Amino acid sequence: MTLVLASVMVAATAAALSMPLVPAAAGTAAYAQTQQITEIRIGALLEFGPSYDDTSSLKSMELSIQDINSDPGVSTKYNVTLVPLDVTGLGATQISGVVLNAVLTQGITHFVGHSSSTITPAKLVLDHRNGSAIISYGSSAPIIPFPNGPINLVEAGDSLFRLIPSDSYQAANVIDLVLNEDGKTKGVIVVRESWLPIVEFLIPPEFADSFVNKINYTEAERFADPAAAVSSHAAVAQMVDGAVSDLVTAEGADKVAVIFIGFPLDFEYHVKGVLSAGDSLANVHDVKWYSTATLTGESAAVRDADVAEFAEKVELSGTRYTVLDNPVNAELCNRLLQQGVVCDSYEYGPFAAYDAIHLLVDSIITSDERGDEYLDRDIILAVAGGMGNHHLAHEGRAIGDGALGSYTLNAAGDLEEPATYTVLKSTTDPANPWVPAKARICR
């Protein structure tokens, strides 16, 4: 997308934000009354790509709605339906357009999804719509770079709720792992170009002197072929090696770290770029490397044998947000397995997606039974905190106990507890590329 086109789309979205909410046609509104049953329509924003794949989360949402609709305490008055909205490959502004179109033409005012933080600018649309809300099960970025300026996602008062902790918690985990547990004193950060502003935001001022080198690279998806990507990363690797060399001279190799922030394919291309230089890059082989959840969360993150060998040599490790086992998610995993979907404690998406549907529907029902004209964000926070007639309580479970466990949201609408992270270390075993080293809770 060119900058000019992006600007036009931003202007169009801004103009649309000032438009009044057009009443939906009969039978399509979020609360359309059909005989004795009120239809609650939830829009599911979904992506099916190499970096994010919402297939398992979609299955989980379908099971969540199935559970709600099969409960007589709900189904005698309400019927919940899911409207899938495919946003694969779309940018932030385009996704905002999909959301706006769903509001104006389909009467959908409440959404869940998707795995990427590119969903978050859609909140600009919903912030201008009375009673609209979006609950994300994958967005964790604290800020989003946007053409009109960065969007701060840790402030209260918007329409966005997220059933995953902000990356500020993961940053605290990684920094603590590098500096305190492993005793490193200096680090070089290698980061996707578009994420550089986020990295600047995440590092607390007191640690800024420890990460003086931030070297960005071009995202894998911007290249036409792997050879061009490897060539580009080879040039970046030269810069990384130079920065590491200076720090090793000053601190010693055992005190220096490389932190790689990106997706698995980014890492694969970068390592191949390092290896293509042969013996000319000596320093990056001699220091320990760390990564973020976008890398450690992928079961096939290290696919190439040479890349896997390099990852193990540099003791690649990182932290991953982990959902602890509980009866709800154990049952959910068994049901997903029956549909050919495998999930585990590191795949938080299906668990958060299941709970997102419950939280949103419970909030809508609570608001409706109170006679409110619109769903207020305070209702969602209150329902997450235990208020209202929860469907999960209908199932005989404690209020608030879902697939994530007994969770709480903070004032900004982000998951506050539980927030358990697992330190994972890379191996060369294709069947088990990441080995959990320890679980840790960072607050």
What's the whole-model pTM score? 0.80
Burial letters 314-352, b for 16+ CB under 10 A, else e: bebbbbbbbbeebebbeebbebbeeeebebebbbbbbbb
pLDDT in tens, 189-198: 999 988 888 8
pLDDT in tens, 354-390: 999 999 999 998 888 888 888 888 889 888 887 665 5
Query: What is d(CA 284, CA 243) in angstroms, rounded to the nearest whole number?
Result: 9
The helix/strand/coil state of 411 is coil
DSSP 22-79: PPPPTTTSTT-EETTEEEEEEEEEE-BSSS-B-HHHHHHHHHHHHHHHT-HHHHTTEE
Nearest to 415 by CA among 345, 335, 332, 352: 352
Percentage of the chain beyond pLDDT 70 is 83
Distances in Å between the Cα of 20 and the Cα atoms of 25, 43, 124, 129, 278 are 15, 20, 14, 8, 61
Q: What's the confidence (pLDDT) of residue 35?
A: 44
CATH topology of domain 3-162+324-412: Rossmann fold (3.40.50)
DSSP 247-287: HHHHH-GGGEEEEEES-HHHHHHHHHHHHHTGGG--GGGSS
Task: List the structure tokens of 122.
Answer: 């859609």
Query: What is d(CA 101, CA 113) in angstroms, rounded to the nearest whole number?
Result: 16
DSSP 181-240: IS---EEEEEEEGGGHHHHHHHS-GGGGGG--EEEEE--GGG-SSHHHHHHHHHHHHHHH
Query: What is d(CA 1, CA 13) in angstroms, rounded to the nearest whole number?
Result: 16
State mean pLDDT over 228-256. Answer: 95
Do residues 324 and 420 touch, judged by C-beta distance below 8 A?
Answer: yes
Q: Is 270 exposed, middle or buried (0-12, 13-18, 19+ CB in 10 A)?
A: buried
Query: What is d(CA 242, CA 223) in angstroms, rounded to the nearest whole number?
Result: 25
Decide which of 79 and 121 is more confident: 79
- Which residues lie across from 41 on neighbouring strands? 81
Q: What's the confidence (pLDDT) of residue 288?
A: 95
Domain ranges in the chain? 3-162+324-412, 172-320+421-441
CATH topology of domain 172-320+421-441: Rossmann fold (3.40.50)
pLDDT in tens, 198-219: 887 788 788 888 988 899 999 8
pLDDT in tens, 105-131: 999 999 998 888 887 778 878 887 888
- The average confidence (pLDDT) of the chain is 81
| pLDDT at position 34 over 50 | no
Do residues 302 and 324 touch, judged by C-beta distance below 8 A?
Answer: no
Query: What is d(CA 21, CA 432) in angstroms, rounded to the nearest whole number?
Result: 50
Query: What is d(CA 131, CA 375) in angstroms, rounded to the nearest whole number?
Result: 4
Pairing of strands 160-162, 133-136: parallel
Instruction: Point out the least confidently predicted range of 30-34, 43-47, 145-149, 228-232.
Output: 30-34
Residue 200 Cα to chain centre, angstroms: 19
Model confidence band, residue 392 (pLDDT cutoffs 50, 70, 90): low
Do residues 153 and 143 touch, judged by C-beta distance below 8 A?
Answer: yes
| pLDDT at position 37 over 70 | no
Model confidence band, residue 429 (pLDDT cutoffs 50, 70, 90): confident
Q: What's the confidence (pLDDT) of residue 199?
A: 84
Q: What's the confidence (pLDDT) of residue 278?
A: 84
Rounded to a whole number of angstroms, the CA Rg of the chain reads 23
Angle between helix axes 92-106 and 3-17 (nearest 10 degrees) is 30
Q: Do the domains 3-162+324-412 and 172-320+421-441 sit in the same CATH topology, yes or no?
A: yes
* End-to-end Cα distance, the chain: 40
Model confidence band, residue 24 (pLDDT cutoffs 50, 70, 90): very low
Q: Is 223 exposed, middle or buried (0-12, 13-18, 19+ CB in 10 A)?
A: middle
Query: What is d(CA 395, CA 376) in angstroms, rounded to the nearest whole number?
Result: 25
Q: What's the confidence (pLDDT) of residue 15?
A: 40
pLDDT in tens, 133-173: 999 998 888 877 666 777 777 766 788 899 988 888 788 88
